[in-house]
């Protein structure tokens, strides 16, 4: 759990400057920010308005998936629409029944928008705004309220001043207010879908705009700028979708994914274990060719062997001397394998790194290096083929 929280903190702090928290806290709206690149697509920021609306503390929300706010009457089709929008990396808006911490249901307008990296066009965050939908009274209910108001007014007009003491007035006023209050606060009819008004939709859109303005400003201070629309389009398969990022994020071994369709085969995905092994930050790795790990004493023969296996689209395993960010060297038992899409064309190469000679109690209990490497290759191939098959099915329908 501590490692997960560390990833969440780095996810936010490395992209935006340290003042972004204070700026977002000043916004009055209810909203969350999530990271689709971290396993489980967790919430990495929750506004004060959101915590107040749902009744949770910040510690109870950060690191959790948004599904914790759903309940037995939440429409499954609406949930699937949200998941589909995340998979397709697009904005969406929907009326949704959610639940507060105390279990009370309420209808809200949910508006979601992706946040893109200006550098490489990847989706790095999703912003979700929640606007409560005010319940609209039916005409029969309006008549009932008007009748109650009329009865209360007649009650006070008909009372003679000498009979109508303060206690009677208080009693009549209290009784009438309780009647109206009990009507207004009665249990929401959750089986009746609520539609948001134009005012509520406008409020959600304005909130999204304000949040993105804050994120854009505070990302400029770190040089890792974000934008509302994808500003950088990679050709071929260079643009990883959020769903593929999520699938790859479940793999705990050290590995990178390079794009076979782009010049110089840049790295388009790196695992957290790779960053930990090499000491680099994610933004320092993406877009690089894997040879940036080589150094003065790296054997050219090993580099030639890697180049040959890529040219022939074959798998290979080499023991190569690589260098961390701090320039300390380590022996890397590197396995490289082509990854084909649903049509059989090589779309990526996956490179799995295991530090050779690093022995501890955990390593003794672990699978053999070859087995671990092959398991990563299999998981990556399943993720890539599943994505390309889904894309092919969507385009043909």
* DSSP structural state of residue 192: S
Say which residues have a Cβ less than 8 Å from residue 234's Cβ, sequence separation at least 6: 120, 121, 259, 262, 268
Cβ–Cβ under 8 Å, residues 12 and 45? yes
> Regarding predicted confidence, which is higher, 89 or 51?
51
Q: What is the pLDDT of residues 331-377, one digit of tens each?
A: 999 999 999 887 788 989 999 999 987 554 444 456 688 888 888 99
Can you give the CATH number for the domain in which 109 is found?
3.30.450.20
Same domain, 214 and 143: no
Same domain, 143 and 99: no
Q: If we measure between CA atoms, which residue out of 300, 297, 305 comes closest to residue 329?
A: 297
Give the integer Cα–Cα distance in Å for 15 and 331: 31
Give the integer Cα–Cα distance in Å for 333 and 351: 10
| pLDDT at position 322 | 95
Q: What is the pLDDT of residues 69-78, one digit of tens each?
A: 999 999 999 9
| pLDDT at position 44 | 93
| pLDDT at position 157 | 47
Same domain, 86 and 203: yes
Give the integer Cα–Cα distance in Å for 206 and 210: 6
Same domain, 110 and 208: yes
- 237 belongs to a structural domain: no
Same domain, 173 and 249: no
Q: Which of 121-135, 142-156, 186-200, 297-311 has the lowest mean pLDDT?
A: 142-156
| pLDDT at position 89 | 83
Q: How far is CA 54 from CA 29, 42, 78, 211, in A?
A: 13, 17, 19, 19
Domain tally for the chain?
Answer: 3
| pLDDT at position 119 | 72
Model confidence at 264: pLDDT above 50: yes
> Regarding predicted confidence, which is higher, 325 or 122?
325
Same domain, 287 and 351: yes
Tell me what percent of the residues of the chain surpass a pLDDT of 90.
47
> Regarding predicted confidence, which is higher, 290 or 139?
290
| pLDDT at position 273 | 92
Q: If we measure between CA atoms, which residue out of 276, 262, 259 comes closest to residue 358?
A: 276
Same domain, 62 and 118: yes
Q: What is the overall mean pLDDT for the chain? A: 79
Give mean pLDDT, residues 5-14.
74
| pLDDT at position 387 | 65
Q: What is the pLDDT of residues 25-40, one digit of tens each?
A: 999 999 999 998 888 8
| pLDDT at position 370 | 82
| pLDDT at position 132 | 94
Same domain, 217 and 297: no
Catalogue the long-range contacts made by 141-148 (C-beta closer than 8 Å, 24 or more residues apart).
144/183, 145/180, 145/183, 148/176, 148/179, 148/180, 148/183
Rg (CA), the chain: 28
| pLDDT at position 5 | 66
Same domain, 274 and 361: yes
Maximum separation of any 2 CA atoms in the chain, in Å? 109
Q: Which domain holds residue 322?
A: 242-396
Binning pLDDT at 50, 70 and 90, where does residue 180 land?
very low
- Whole-model pTM above 0.85? no
């Amino acid at each position: 759990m501590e490692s997960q929280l560390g990833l969440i903190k780095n996810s936010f702090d490395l992209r935006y400057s340290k003042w972004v928290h204070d700026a977002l806290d000043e916004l009055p709206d209810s909203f969350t920010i999530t990271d689709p690149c971290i396993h489980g697509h967790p919430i990495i920021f929750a506004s004060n308005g959101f915590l107040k609306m749902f009744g949770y503390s910040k510690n109870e929300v950060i690191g959790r998936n948004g599904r914790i706010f759903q309940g037995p009457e939440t429409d499954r089709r609406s949930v699937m629409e949200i998941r589909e929008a995340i998979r397709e990396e697009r904005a969406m808006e929907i009326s949704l029944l959610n639940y507060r911490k105390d279990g009370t249901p309420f209808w809200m307008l949910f508006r979601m928008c992706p946040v893109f990296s200006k550098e490489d066009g990847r989706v790095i965050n999703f912003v979700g705004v929640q606007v409560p939908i005010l319940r609209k009274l039916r005409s029969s209910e309006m008549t009932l309220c008007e009748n109650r108001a009329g009865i209360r007014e007649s009650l006070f007009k008909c009372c003679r001043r000498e009979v109508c003491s303060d206690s009677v007035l208080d009693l009549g006023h209290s009784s009438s207010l309780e009647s109206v209050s009990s009507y207004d606060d009665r249990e929401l009819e959750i089986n009746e879908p609520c539609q948001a008004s134009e005012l509520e939709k406008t409020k959600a859109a304005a909130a999204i705009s304000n949040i993105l303005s804050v994120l854009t400003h505070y990302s400029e201070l770190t040089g890792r700028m974000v934008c509302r629309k994808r500003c950088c389009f990679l050709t071929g398969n260079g643009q990883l979708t959020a769903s593929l990022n999520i699938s790859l994020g479940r793999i705990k071994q050290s590995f990178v994914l390079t794009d076979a369709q782009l010049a110089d085969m840049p790295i388009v995905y790196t695992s957290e274990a790779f960053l930990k092994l090499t000491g680099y930050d994610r933004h320092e790795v993406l877009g690089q060719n894997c040879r940036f790990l080589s150094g003065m004493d790296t054997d050219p023969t090993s580099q030639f062997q890697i180049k040959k296996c890529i040219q022939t689209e074959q798998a290979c395993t080499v023991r190569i001397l690589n260098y961390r960010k701090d320039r300390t060297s380590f022996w890397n038992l590197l396995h490289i394998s082509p990854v084909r899409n649903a049509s059989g064309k090589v779309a990526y190469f996956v490179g799995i790194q295991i530090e050779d000679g690093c022995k501890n109690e955990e390593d003794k209990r672990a699978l053999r290096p070859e087995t671990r490497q092959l398991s990563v290759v299999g998981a990556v191939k399943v993720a890539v083929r599943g994505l390309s098959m889904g894309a092919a099915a969507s385009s043909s329908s």
